[in-house]
Structure 1
Amino acid sequence: MLSPNKDIVEDTEENRQICRKYCPNCQNYKRHALDNFQPTELFCARGKSTATNMKIIGCFCPACELFTKSHLRGGFFCVRR
């Protein structure tokens, strides 16, 4: 359970636009064609991809504006949540 003061990424069009600047450039996203699986973006808010058999090969999450703005930790949100 999340603590009440924890920042959460909201699933908004503004955040999806920010996400589109980062996720498509990620090695995991490209290698596993994550645009073909749900959710297609904003994994930090929507949860991990439905793609199967993904290997963790790189993570671009820490470069994203939402990662810093929302005080996220870790990364690889497309693979695990």
Structure 2
Amino acid sequence: MKQIKVRCTDPFQAFSGTNLLYEVKEGEELTAHLHDESEEYFAIDSNGEEAYVGCLDMGGKLILDDCFELVEEGADKHEPV
């Protein structure tokens, strides 16, 4: 699965020092893309910034960050309507 759809269950912000890196609001649904090299999933937040949502473990099992729940696996597998 190259894409997954997740929903934020707890709003959060990530900072580097005092600089806001990304912000995700409660209830926001994001489509996350797998970065093959790192086996991590990232999505674009409402501000256009890349947000970490989870990763694959050594066995290929999806591990989501505590702030997200899975809405849909294989979000890239839909047939065009």
| Interval containing the TM-score (normalised by the shorter chain) | under 0.3
TM-score, with normalisation over the residues of structure 2?
0.25
TM-score, with normalisation over the residues of structure 1?
0.25
Q: Which has the larger radius of gyration?
A: 2
Whichever structure has more helix as a proportion of its residues is 1
Whichever structure has more strand as a proportion of its residues is 2
